[in-house]
């Protein structure tokens, strides 16, 4: 059976993880119906989404679809009947999850994937009592779900390939990196690795070898920096010199037999718990959880932007997401551009072209409650991008060492745009020659057609290697000239 395309996500359980899923899905244009047995969770999830917005808004400036809408219900069945994909995030207890999942499976149509955020339970156990159990799988995310792209995808004995593919597609759409786990094992992959580290921490704190702060330093100042871009295996391959992993294993392999690590976890005595709590309180140094979360979110955004430059790890995920968002915006602008070129061929003008539809997103607002200055540049830039992609200035052209650089922008502000306001951009090509193109964009409010702002922009064609102006490809110039004739 082919599974549904996801427009509305249903959340079962709206605690820390449910809140994170909501923020991520809404940001990338998916509506969310959040369901929890406790009515007070509505306020909580709305707060969690608002809290995530600050960091999410800085993650990417690629053109996003309109933000999704959030609704809340305590009626789990009603949620299950109206959504296209269900993500379960209730407490980590097998019997509870089995019962609740079986219940919603009787309401959700069979082409709705049901994914569990479980950190360690097995999908084969979770799907036991389900109606259409083949659509159940584990989609294990990481906190904060709205910033970390990793989601482990694990199928159970009855899970269909179609459900796994549909889940991978949906998670990719909301900016994630689905990691397919080949077979179900308790703890999946990542938590098994994290637990090994944590177990050693507990032993060392228990034996007074080190404090929690010292052990965190042993990662943060060293391996942690490497891990964002390369994992332990590739890093050890580098550590082996020219012969890589083979040499590494010969040299350090014997240490694995030495008693460096312990496989059994220590007893969680009151004394050990006290040491762990006192240690982490000292590390927090009076900062609240909220403050520390903001700090964490800020550096997680910054790191992903750096990694994007290197097209590695989470940065590669971000780059692929942005490429898709730009391509989607360009695809939406294609029809008016094609129509205009056809009109021009028949000697007729089409006037300014409506290239971009958008809505003022909450994170675009400044302290006056209006759309903030740099977002105007972003919106005009998105219209330019769609137009230039159409004439052939796409990734392939750029990777051939040619590009158009902005040399001048003049923005004139005429009216206000408030949060939620639908807007559109119309564009004209005013002038084009061998090395230059001049565009005029106008941003209008959809409700009354009022001109909100206009932007005149000049781009110069460059050879990126030489860092100098250079003539553009003939085909690109010709397309731009057609658009100039069409939008005269
Ligand atoms: N916290 C993490 O770092 C993390 C990371 C990855 C995965 N997970 C997994 O996500 C799941 C949820 O964890 P959490 O940290 O968000 O827990 P949480 O306690 O913050 O949230 C659980 C929510 O489920 C609700 N709930 C309880 N019973 C319910 C029911 N019968 N129907 C609907 N809602 C119900 C509770 O009211 C609560 O809001 C667990 O399976 C956990 O293993 C947690």
- Give the Å distance between the CA of 41 and the centre of ligand 1: 12
Q: Helices in 2-128 by DSSP H: which ranges?
A: 16-27, 41-59, 76-82, 94-105, 123-126
Distance CA 385, CA 326 (A): 8
In the chain, what is the straight-line distance between the N-terminal and C-terminal CA atoms, in Å?
Answer: 51
- Residues enclosing ligand 1, CB less than 6 A? 12-18, 36-38, 41, 76, 89-92, 100, 117-119, 140-141, 143
pLDDT in tens, 409-423: 999 999 988 888 899
- The dihedrals phi and psi of 294, each to the nearest 5 degrees, come to -65, -45
pLDDT in tens, 194-221: 999 999 999 999 999 999 999 999 999 9
For 141, left (φ over 0), alpha (ψ -120 to 50), or beta?
A: beta
- Give the Å distance between the CA of 266 and the centre of ligand 1: 26
Tokens at 462, concatenated: 């460059």
Question: 3-state class of 286 per DSSP?
Answer: coil
pLDDT in tens, 123-174: 999 999 999 999 999 999 999 999 999 999 999 999 999 999 999 999 999 9
Give the mutation target among 12, 17, 79, 121 for probing the ligand 1 site: most ligand atoms within 8 A of CB: 17
Closest atom of ligand 1 to CA, residue 16? 16
Do 452 and 414 contact (CB within 8 A), yes or no? yes
- Give the Å distance between the CA of 292 and the centre of ligand 1: 21
Do 174 and 189 contact (CB within 8 A), yes or no? no
- Give the Å distance between the CA of 25 and the centre of ligand 1: 17
Tokens at 486, concatenated: 């069409």
- Give the Å distance between the CA of 144 and the centre of ligand 1: 14
- Give the Å distance between the CA of 324 and the centre of ligand 1: 32
Question: Atom 36 in ligand 1: which residue has the minimum CA distance?
Answer: 13
- Average pLDDT value over all residues in the chain: 94
Of the listed ranges 20-29, 35-44, 47-56, 122-131, the one predicted with least confidence: 47-56
What pLDDT, on a 0 to 100 scale, did the predictor assign at position 134? 98
- The H-or-E segment that residue 339 falls in is helix 313-345
Location of structure tokens 């090509």? 429
For the entire predicted model, the pTM comes to 0.90
């Amino acid at each position: 059976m082919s599974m549904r395309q996801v427009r509305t996500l249903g959340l079962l359980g709206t605690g820390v993880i449910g809140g994170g899923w909501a923020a991520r899905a809404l940001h990338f244009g998916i509506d969310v119906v959040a369901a929890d047995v406790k009515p007070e969770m509505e306020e909580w999830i709305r707060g969690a989404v608002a809290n995530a917005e600050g960091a999410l808004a800085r993650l990417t400036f690629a053109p996003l679809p309109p933000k999704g809408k959030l609704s809340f219900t305590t009626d789990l069945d009603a949620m299950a009947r109206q959504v296209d994909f269900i993500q379960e995030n209730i407490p980590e207890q097998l019997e509870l999850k089995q019962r609740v999942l079986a219940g919603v499976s009787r309401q959700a149509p069979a082409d709705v994937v049901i994914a569990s955020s479980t950190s360690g339970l097995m999908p084969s156990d979770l799907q036991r009592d389900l109606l259409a159990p083949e659509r159940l799988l584990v989609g294990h995310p990481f906190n904060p779900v709205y910033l970390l792209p990793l989601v482990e995808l694990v199928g159970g004995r009855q899970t269909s390939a179609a459900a796994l593919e549909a889940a991978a597609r949906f998670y990719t759409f909301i900016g994630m990196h689905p990691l397919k786990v080949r077979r179900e094992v308790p703890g999946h992959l990542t938590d098994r690795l994290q637990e090994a580290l944590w177990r050693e921490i507990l032993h060392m704190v228990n034996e007074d070898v080190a404090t929690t702060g010292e052990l965190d330093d042993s990662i943060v100042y060293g391996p942690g920096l490497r891990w964002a871009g390369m994992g332990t295996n590739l890093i050890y391959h580098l550590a082996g010199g020219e012969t890589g992993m083979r040499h590494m294993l010969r040299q350090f392999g014997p240490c694995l037999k030495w008693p460096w690590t312990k496989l059994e976890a220590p007893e969680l005595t009151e004394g050990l718990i006290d040491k762990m709590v006192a240690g982490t309180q000292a590390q927090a140094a009076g900062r609240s959880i909220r403050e520390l979360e903001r700090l964490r979110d800020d550096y997680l955004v910054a790191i992903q932007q750096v990694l994007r430059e290197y097209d590695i790890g989470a940065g590669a995920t971000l780059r692929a997401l942005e490429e898709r968002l730009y391509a989607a915006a360009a695809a939406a602008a294609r029809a008016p551009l094609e129509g205009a070129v056809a009109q021009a061929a028949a000697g007729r003008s089409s006037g300014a072209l409506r290239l971009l539809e958008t809505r003022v997103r909450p994170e675009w607002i400044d302290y006056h409650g209006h759309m903030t200055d740099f977002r105007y540049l972003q919106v005009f830039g998105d219209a330019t991008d769609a137009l230039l992609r159409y004439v052939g200035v796409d990734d392939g052209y750029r990777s051939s060492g040619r590009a158009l650089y902005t040399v001048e922008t003049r923005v004139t502000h005429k009216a206000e745009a408030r949060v939620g306001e639908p807007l559109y951009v119309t564009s004209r090509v005013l002038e084009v020659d061998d090395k230059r193109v001049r565009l005029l964009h106008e941003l209008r409010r959809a409700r009354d057609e009022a001109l909100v702002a206009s932007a005149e922009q000049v781009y110069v064609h460059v050879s990126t290697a030489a860092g100098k102006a250079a003539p553009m490809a003939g085909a690109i110039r010709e397309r731009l000239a057609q658009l100039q004739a069409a939008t005269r």
